[in-house]
């Protein structure tokens, strides 16, 4: 478990409702409605907490015939707290984590909640992160006409011409004979 | 509109108390959801206050309120549906809290001001 994962785990556990959910799941696997009834919480509140618990790997889910059953991920809880805090973070991991956090911050500030690009960043480093994100909208190996590329980019921002050119200039997409392909090596 | 205003202020006080109780009980996220609920009523207190200042008659005020009651939550349904599509349950619940508060506001408006909106 990385230091970041440990922080997320402890933060997530610092909630009475979530501890009650985990206590119930420690006894037996359950579905949302049953947990809600037992804990006197609304089903949506239980789903909310289960989603947070699933994000840190504390619970797992599987679809049964009618319901999604939730289980405690016992491996996470079989570790001692001492073993978690005693793990030394390595420098490369810290650096990688910083990079991920920074990229997320850039994406959050330039994309709105509906996934639209608010503005094209002026700074090249930030623009590259945005372009890498846009490149994900294209299937690797698939050939797109210029019109198709424009339509896809227009879902994110009106200035699709600039963004299309930048994707090519930054090596994220290749253009040949008027058709485009995502450059897999670069993204 | 006075009764509606009183209703909103009571709901804001309820939400604040509930958020305080939940926080004291170690349920921070549920407290935040209550805070969101309270904020929605707060928005409509501001709508009434702004409408009272900028409209000339009770009918104009009602029309101003109704327009905002439609306009303000219009993006929330889209946001909830998009969150549902990408499996973002946390966001879905947050948007539902807002939409439930709006439904309550619509019902209260109908009850106190007579019109269905």
Q: Where are the beta strands (DSSP E) in A9-120?
A: 30-31, 59-63, 68-72
Domains of chain A: 3-78 (1.10.10.10), 91-182 (no CATH)
CB pairs under 8 A between A and B: 38
Query: Could you report the per-residue pLDDT of B35-81, keeping only the tens digit for each?
Result: 999 999 999 999 999 999 988 898 999 999 999 999 999 989 999 99
Tokens linked to A123: 């700074």
Q: Which two tokens stand for residue B60?
A: 């104009």
Point out the residue among B27, B82, B90 whose CB comes nearest to the CB of A51. Answer: B90
Q: What is the pLDDT of residues A21-67, one digit of tens each?
A: 999 999 999 999 999 999 999 999 999 999 999 999 999 999 888 88
Look at residue B117 and tell me whether its pLDDT is greater than 50: no
Interface pTM, i.e. ipTM: 0.79
Shortest CA distance to A160 belongs to which of A129, A128, A122, A120? A120
Q: How many CB atoms lie within 10 A of CB A77?
A: 13
Place A133 in a pLDDT band, splitting at 50, 70 and 90: very high
Neighbours of B117 (CB within 10 A): 13
- Express each pLDDT in A10-20 by its tens digit: 999 999 999 99
Closest by alpha carbon to A115, among A135, A134, A100? A134
Mutate to test the interface with A, among B21, B22, B27 (most CBs of A within 10 A): B27
CA distance B28 to chain A (A): 7
Give the containing element (helix H, strand E) for A124.
Answer: helix A124-135
Mutate to test the interface with A, among B80, B89, B91 (most CBs of A within 10 A): B89
CA distances from B14 to B17, B24, B35, B41, B71 (A): 5, 15, 10, 11, 25
Judged against a pLDDT cut of 80, whether residue B116 lies above it is answered with no
Cβ count near A51 (within 10 Å): 18
Percentage, residues of chain A above pLDDT 90: 73
Distance from C-alpha of A164 to C-alpha of A146, rounded to nearest angstrom: 9
Q: Categorize the per-residue pLDDT at A140 as very low, low, confident or very high, splitting at 50, 70 and 90.
A: confident
Domain with residues B2-113, CATH architecture: Up-down Bundle (1.20)
Give one DSSP letter per residue of B52-75, joined into a string. Answer: HHH-SSHHHHHHHHHHHHHHTTHH
Task: Say which of A15, A44, A50 has its CB closest to residue B27.
Answer: A15
Q: Compute the distance between CA of residue A68 and CA of residue A128 in angstroms, rounded to an integer.
A: 39
Token readout for B17 is 């108390």
pLDDT of residue A169: 93
For chain B, give every domain's residue range. 2-113
For the stretch A106-126, pLDDT in tens is 999 999 888 899 999 999 999
């Amino acid at each position: 478990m990385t230091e970041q994962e440990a922080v997320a785990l402890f933060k997530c556990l610092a909630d009475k409702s979530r501890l009650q959910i985990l206590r119930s799941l420690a006894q037996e696997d359950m579905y949302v409605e049953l947990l809600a009834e037992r804990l006197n919480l609304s089903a949506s509140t239980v789903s909310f907490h289960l989603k947070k618990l699933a994000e840190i790997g504390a619970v797992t889910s599987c679809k049964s015939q009618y319901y999604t059953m939730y289980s405690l991920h016992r491996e996470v809880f079989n570790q001692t707290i001492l073993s978690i805090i005693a793990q030394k973070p390595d420098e490369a991991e810290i650096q990688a984590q910083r990079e991920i956090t920074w990229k997320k911050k850039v994406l959050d500030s330039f994309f709105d909640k509906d996934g639209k690009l608010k503005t094209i960043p002026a700074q090249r480093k930030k623009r590259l992160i945005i372009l890498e994100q846009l490149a994900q909208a294209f299937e690797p190996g698939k050939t797109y006409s210029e019109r198709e590329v424009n339509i896809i980019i227009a879902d994110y921002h009106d200035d699709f011409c600039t963004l299309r050119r930048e994707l090519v200039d930054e090596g994220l997409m290749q253009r040949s004979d008027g058709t485009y392909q995502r450059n897999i090596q670069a993204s | 509109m006075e009764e509606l205003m009183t209703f909103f202020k009571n709901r804001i006080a309820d939400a604040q108390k509930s958020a305080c109780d939940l926080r004291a009980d170690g349920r921070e996220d549920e407290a935040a959801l209550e805070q969101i609920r309270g904020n929605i009523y707060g928005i409509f207190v501001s709508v009434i206050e702004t409408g009272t200042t900028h409209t000339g008659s009770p009918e104009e005020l009602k029309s101003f309120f109704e327009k905002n009651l439609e306009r303000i939550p219009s993006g929330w349904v889209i946001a909830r549906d998009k969150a549902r599509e990408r499996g973002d349950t946390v966001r879905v619940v947050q948007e539902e809290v807002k939409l439930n508060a709006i439904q309550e506001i619509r019902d209260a408006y109908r009850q106190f001001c007579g019109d269905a909106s």
